[in-house]
Amino acid sequence: MPTSDIPWFNPVSVRLQSGIKRSFASVLDALDFLENEWPMRSGAYYDAATVSCRRALNRSTPPAVAREMFIAACLEAGLRTIADAPAPPQSRPVSAFGRPSR
């Protein structure tokens, strides 16, 4: 397995069955959780998430696909995802008339 990790632009936060909140910031974080701490070892999205995380680490699948499959697997397993605050949008200068300048 490759040693380099691939961070996600926005972490995925999950409320575990115990009530604890966990945050996953990268493909390797998610794959480690899927392989070592996952509450159920079956499910179509579980399988798809593990495969897409491995492929993302091998640079054959976009990290965003692995992230979406991880979220789907969480929902399939009954783990609630918690929306993190999105990154602030890039602001554009505003003209004197209140319109974005070009």
pLDDT tens-digit series, residues 28-68: 999 999 999 998 888 999 999 999 999 999 999 999 999 99
Q: Is pLDDT at 2 greater than 50 in this prediction?
A: no
Contacts of 45-50 with C-beta under 8 Å, sequence gap 24+, read 45/69, 45/72, 45/73, 45/75, 45/76, 46/73, 46/76, 46/77, 48/72, 48/73, 49/73
Q: What is the mean pLDDT of the chain?
A: 85
Q: Which one has a higher pLDDT value, 98 or 59?
A: 59
Identify the pLDDT of residue 59. Answer: 94
Identify the pLDDT of residue 34. Answer: 96
What is the pTM for the complete model shown? 0.77
Identify the pLDDT of residue 1. Answer: 45
